[in-house]
């Protein structure tokens, strides 16, 4: 029997009633020992273990500098050649992933570190831009829900590196936001959390607690939402339209305090 798979859940599919969350943390949070300690305490206190997806771009850049590999980004995405891919896999699926698992395990949390490659959790395809080649950078085309659900049902906390596997056998570097969104949609979770370097979405100069998805385009057109926040809110809209209960955009301190902007 083939494992259950999902390309993208249909809009209107039944949401996860367990209160499960997908939480994405990035390189700046992973470098903050205080935040990590608080994250461990928060996870330990949740009634249902979340799914934790992590990046690690800051450490990748640091190691590229050490090894004489020049970081290059196009449209905010890291160009990944063969040498950079090897380094990225070592940092994300090795150093960063096991650091997070170790911290959770020492706190008595049943954490298990995996990547999108393991069990073919996330199937990827090359991300193609019309005017640039990003190298071995991919996007998620399918999620193997039949692999991850038994881990969740058994009470494990999956800690997921975003490296993913293509049908061509190639490992691809996939943006952690993209993997988190794909998992949230495929599993129809109650909440997808993006932890960023800002406290939430600002409208009229103030962080708003709630942003209805129907208002997002209007605020982008008016210039209230700009820059790097635009792809995040658009990802949030897409996730909600595909069955995720809501999306929270916040920064580390606000996340611990339960604050931020909820999009639904």
Out of 16, 26, 27, 245, the active site residue is 27
Integer Cα distance of 249 and 242 in angstroms: 18
Q: Are 138 and 127 in contact (CB under 8 A)?
A: yes
The pLDDT assigned to 200 comes to 94
pLDDT value at residue 18: 65
Candidate list 16, 118, 177, 242, residue with the active-site label: 177
- Set 26, 118, 232, 242: catalytic member: 232
SS (H, E, C) the chain: CCCCCECCCCCCCCCCCCCCEEEEECHHHHCCHHHHHHHHHHHHHCCCCCEEEECCHHHHHHHHHHHCCCCCEECCEECECHHHHHHHHHHHHHHHHHHHHHHHHHCCCCEEEEECCHHHCEEEEECCECCECCECEEEEEEECHHHHHHHHHCCCEEEEECCEEECCCCEEEECHHHHHHHHHHHHCCCEEEEEECCCCCEECCEECCEECHHHHHHHHHHCCCCCCHHHHHHHHHHHHHCCCCEEEEEEHHHHHCCCCEEEC
Q: Tell me the pLDDT band of 5, cut-offs 50, 70 and 90.
A: low
Domains and CATH numbers, the chain: 55-177 (3.40.1160.10)
Reported confidence tier of residue 3, pLDDT bands at 50, 70, 90: very low
More confident residue, 113 or 26: 113
Confidence of residue 46 (pLDDT cuts 50, 70, 90): confident
Average pLDDT, the chain: 88
103-148 pLDDT per residue, tens: 999 999 999 999 999 999 999 999 998 888 999 999 999 999 888 9
| Catalytic residue, candidates 26, 55, 56, 57 | 57
Residue 81 has pLDDT above 60, yes or no: yes
Q: Is 27 a catalytic residue?
A: yes
The residue annotated as part of the active site, out of 16, 24, 55, 56, is: 24
**In the predicted model, what is the mean pLDDT of residues 163-192?**
95
Query: Is residue 177 annotated as a catalytic residue, yes or no?
Result: yes
Q: Which of 137, 95, 121, 262 is nearest to 191 (CA)?
A: 262
- Per-residue pLDDT at 108: 94
State the pLDDT at residue 242: 95
Q: What pLDDT was estimated at residue 2? A: 41
- Gap between the Cα atoms of 205 and 63, Å rounded: 37
Active site residue 24: yes
């Amino acid at each position: 029997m083939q494992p259950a798979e999902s390309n993208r859940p249909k809009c209107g599919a039944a949401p996860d009633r367990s209160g499960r969350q997908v939480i994405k943390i990035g390189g700046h949070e992973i470098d903050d020992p205080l935040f990590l300690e608080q994250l461990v305490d928060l996870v330990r206190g949740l009634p249902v273990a979340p799914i934790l997806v992590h990046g690690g771009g800051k450490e990748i850049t640091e190691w590229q500098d050490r090894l004489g590999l020049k970081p290059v980004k196009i449209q905010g995405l890291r160009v990944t050649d063969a040498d950079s891919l090897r380094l990225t896999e070592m940092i994300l699926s090795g150093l960063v992933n096991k650091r997070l698992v170790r911290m959770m395990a020492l706190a008595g949390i049943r954490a298990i570190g995996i990547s999108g490659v393991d069990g073919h959790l996330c199937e990827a395809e090359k991300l193609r831009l019309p005017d640039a080649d990003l190298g071995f950078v991919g996007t998620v085309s399918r999620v193997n829900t039949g692999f991850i659900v038994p881990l969740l049902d058994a009470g494990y906390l999956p800690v997921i590196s975003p490296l993913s596997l293509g049908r061509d056998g190639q490992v691809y570097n996939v943006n952690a936001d993209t993997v988190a969104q794909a998992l949230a949609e495929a599993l129809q979770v109650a909440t997808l959390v993006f932890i960023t370097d800002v406290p939430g979405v600002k409208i009229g100069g103030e962080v708003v607690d709630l942003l209805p998805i129907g208002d997002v385009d209007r605020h982008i057109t008016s210039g209230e939402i700009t820059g790097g926040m635009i792809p995040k809110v658009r990802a949030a809209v897409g996730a909600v339209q595909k069955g995720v209960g809501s999306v929270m955009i916040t920064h580390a301190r606000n996340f611990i305090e339960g604050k931020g902007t909820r999009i639904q």
